[in-house]
Amino acid sequence: MCRKWVGAEEKFPEFAGKRSIHRFYGRMLLYYKGLWEPGGEARVNQLFPDAALRSPHRRRFWGIDRALVVIVRRLFVPVLLFVGFVLLCVLAYMRLEHLRFADALFWVTHSHAIDYLHARKATKYFALVVGLGIFAFEIWFAERIILTFVGHQGREVWKSMLNEMNLERIRDHFIICGYGQVGRTVIEQLNRDRIPYVLIETNEGLYRQLLQEGVLVILGDAKRHTVLQTAGIARAAGICIVIDNDADNLYITVTAKSLNPKLRTITRAGQERYAQAMRTSGADEVIIPEYEGGRLAGQLIQKYAAAQPRSA
């Protein structure tokens, strides 16, 4: 196996020294060397035992959890001040009327329980202050909650929740990995043809922008099992890998095929040596943008050259 690995390192120097990073490198190299066979998973686990495959734990209610976190953060200060206000009112009632803690707390929450015929004049004025204070806190709580759902952050939370629900329902879609120049062109074409898709993007700024635009998008690294499974790879019709990194594209190709062998895979390559490795790894189509662009330019030259009148 060492000689095979060394051969792969010479062919793909980007992988040199990475044998302990992840066992998928082992699967990828077995694909490339043509040694993959049924039952090969156990062999890869034996050779690369440091990162065994774990079943992903999907956070189905991630959007709801995020909404709760936002609400708690916005209400934390008002709630803390309200608790302090109530404790001060309780201590004041205990001093004014010599009440027990439970009775004073009941008076704070139920001002109508105060016997106005026997209560001291200072107690009556203080009860008015308590009532106004509680009313002000109620307005503050309502304002915070409304702004949470109506403001920018609230809209983002709702968009995220809708995004999560749509990810659960989507079927027979294509997974697009990367939102560079090639990825943008692919997305525009899919939008025109109304083909369902899920976009995976690592840039958080782009993710937030696409989320606001209504694009079905996931923030994460497509090389990770959990990210691909969140994108619904088991239900997908295909995957289009257009990241501007040949090593990552090869890695994702192998990972996607291991998760769904029936998946139609379209992969971008920058160099012919990687294109051949991607085909060996299971890619159905491999596109080299530079090669395709050069071929198109040549066809245009041929077209205009043919239209030129020939000199005698």
Single pTM value for the model: 0.55
> Can you give the pLDDT at residue 82?
92
| pLDDT-derived band at 22, boundaries 50, 70, 90 | very low
> Can you give the pLDDT at residue 14?
47
| pLDDT-derived band at 267, boundaries 50, 70, 90 | very high
Give the least confident one: 72-76, 189-193, 211-215.
72-76
Mean pLDDT, the chain, as a whole number? 77
Res. 5: pLDDT tops 50:
no
Backbone phi and psi for residue 207, each to the nearest 5 degrees, phi listed first: -60, -45
CATH number of 170-300: 3.40.50.720
Selected residue with higher pLDDT from 293 and 260: 260
Is 30 within 8 Å of 40 (Cβ atoms)?
yes
pLDDT digits (tens, 9 = 90+) for 151-196: 655 666 667 777 788 888 898 999 999 998 888 989 999 999 999 9
Res. 70: pLDDT tops 70:
no
Res. 66: pLDDT tops 80:
no
pLDDT digits (tens, 9 = 90+) for 274-312: 888 888 888 899 888 777 778 788 888 887 787 777 655
> Can you give the pLDDT at residue 149?
66
Percent above pLDDT 70 for the chain: 73
Give the least confident one: 15-29, 74-88, 199-213, 275-289.
15-29
Quick one: average pLDDT of 121-134? 90
Q: Is the dihedral of CA 206, 290, 258, 185 positive or negative?
A: positive
Res. 53: pLDDT tops 50:
no
Selected residue with higher pLDDT from 259 and 71: 259
> Can you give the pLDDT at residue 77?
87
H, E, C per residue of the chain: CHHHHHHHHHHCHHHCCCCCCCHHHHHHHHHHCCCCCCCHHHHHHHHCCCCCCCCCCCCCCHHHHHHHHHHHHHHHHHHHHHHHHHHHHHHHHHHHHCCCHHHHHHHHHCHHHCCCCCCCHHHHHHHHHHHHHHHHHHHHHHHHHHHHHHCHHHHHHHHHHHHHHHHHHCCCCEEEECCCHHHHHHHHHHHHHCCCEEEEECCHHHHHHHHHCCCCEEECCCCCHHHHHHCCCCCCCEEEECCCCHHHHHHHHHHHHHHCCCCEEEEECCCHHHHHHHHHCCCCEEECHHHHHHHHHHHHHHHHHHHCCCCC
Quick one: average pLDDT of 194-223? 89
> Can you give the pLDDT at residue 157?
67
Percent above pLDDT 90 for the chain: 25
pLDDT digits (tens, 9 = 90+) for 78-121: 899 999 999 999 999 898 888 899 988 988 888 878 877 778 88
Is 249 within 8 Å of 241 (Cβ atoms)?
yes
